[in-house]
Amino acid sequence: MEECRHEDLIDDYLFNRLNHEKKQEFEEHLFNCPHCFEQVQQKTELISVIKDHADSIFKDMRITEKTKNPVQQKIIGFLSPKPLISAAVTAALVLIVVFGILPHKANKTQEFILNNDTVRGSSITLISKAVPSEFRWEAIGKDVEYKVSVYNDELIWEKSTTKNSISLPDEIKSRMTPGKSYFWQVKAFSPQGRLITESSKVQFTWQKKDHP
């Protein structure tokens, strides 16, 4: 197999771990290197199969993740009944914004079912709505992984967490332009890696503080 010095970057590219310049550089390379493009396609297929068949592939494995720290569990326990109700209420508002994206049963969904199918029907409520140094949202249940994305024209940052808040790394902050508008969004994934639900995209303006 012919090796290419860009090959190491493929997984970082697929998992959105490259910064803007690196990503662009790598994409340009993909347009010029059929070998790497083939790798990208193969890896994409491999990852899709792994995610789609995770239950059977990993069934005999002990995949017990480290239990969450007690404080966090308490928060989730405390929040879990409430967000479901408020999610139903806010879902109505969200429908107006993201019309057509969420099906109508959104208003009635009381439970998040973590099965293998994508369940779109409720929304995550974003709590810090403007100028956040930290993004926070309402937790929707246990063992949910949240993926937080920040965009301008393109995706500029993405990170997964099992908590219901996250702060921007300094490296990303330094690349954001004060006064410019950005969007953030949270998506929730089941332990099987399936999209459960997503929040609406909320606009925010970046303001630089000298002493955070």
Partner 1 sequence: MKKTENSYDLKKITSKYRPIVTYKVKKSIGSHTPEWEDIVNEIMLNTIEKVKSGEFKGQSSIGTFIYTITRRRIIDHIRRKKKKIKKHIPESDPFPDPYVQIENKERAEMLAKKLEELKPKYKKVLYLYYYKGLARKEVAQKLGISPRRVSERVHYAQKLLRKIINK
Binding site for partner 1 (CB under 8 A): 11-12, 14-17, 24, 27-28, 30-34, 37, 40-54, 56-61, 63, 97-98, 101, 118, 147, 149, 151, 153-155, 160, 183, 185, 187, 189, 193-195, 200-201, 203
Provide, rounded to whole angstroms, the least separation between the CB of residue 73 and partner 1: 20
Provide, rounded to whole angstroms, the least separation between the CB of residue 124 and partner 1: 14
Question: Measured from the CB atom, is 85 or 93 closer to partner 1?
Answer: 93
Provide, rounded to whole angstroms, the least separation between the CB of residue 32 and partner 1: 4
Distance between CA atoms of residues 23 and 16, nearest Å:
8
In this structure, are residues 205 and 190 in contact, taking their beta carbons and an 8 Å threshold? no
Provide, rounded to whole angstroms, the least separation between the CB of residue 82 and partner 1: 25
With 0-12 / 13-18 / 19 or more C-beta atoms within 10 angstroms meaning exposed / middle / buried, residue 173 is middle
3-class secondary structure, 100: coil
Question: Measured from the CB atom, is 45 or 134 closer to partner 1?
Answer: 45
Nearest Cα neighbor of 134 from 181, 84, 184, 174 is 184
Question: Measured from the CB atom, is 31 or 110 closer to partner 1?
Answer: 31
Give me the helices (H) in the chain, please: 9-14, 20-32, 34-52, 54-57, 70-79, 81-97, 170-173
